[in-house]
Amino acid sequence: RYQALEGYAGAAYLCASTDNTGPVARVDAEGGVLNLRAKPSLNAVILLRIPDQATVDILKEENAWAKVCYQGTEGYVLRQFLQ
């Protein structure tokens, strides 16, 4: 259920740790992409690239980083690129 609508979503696009009531943010990568990393470090493995203006679920914020969920994948992004 989302607002007044009810439907189905593929499990690959859901994060187990979200309850759909947490904060969300829009990626502001100035027309580029935002790297979703395995750990909160610029040296960490890039799991995937999130397109500009995509929406992510914020799971946790710590210093310059945010742990987010994007299309079923959890990882870390720099907070400065979130609105």
Q: Is 37 helix (H, G, I), strand (E, B) or coil?
A: strand
User: What are the distances in angstroms from CA 27 to CA 10, 14, 19, 47, 49?
Assistant: 22, 18, 21, 16, 11
Whether residue 20 is predicted with pLDDT greater than 60 in this model: the reply is no
**C-alpha angle 32-68-81 in degrees, rounded to nearest 5:** 35
Question: Higher confidence at residue 1 or residue 60?
Answer: 60
Q: How far apart (Å, rounded) are the C-alpha atoms in residues 69 and 76?
A: 9
Query: Is pLDDT at 14 greater than 70 in this prediction?
Result: no
| 8 Å CB contact between 29 and 81 | yes
Can you give the pTM of this predicted structure?
0.79
Q: What is the mean pLDDT of residues 40-44?
A: 97
- For 32, the 3-state DSSP assignment is coil
Residue 40 · residue 58 · CB < 8 Å: no
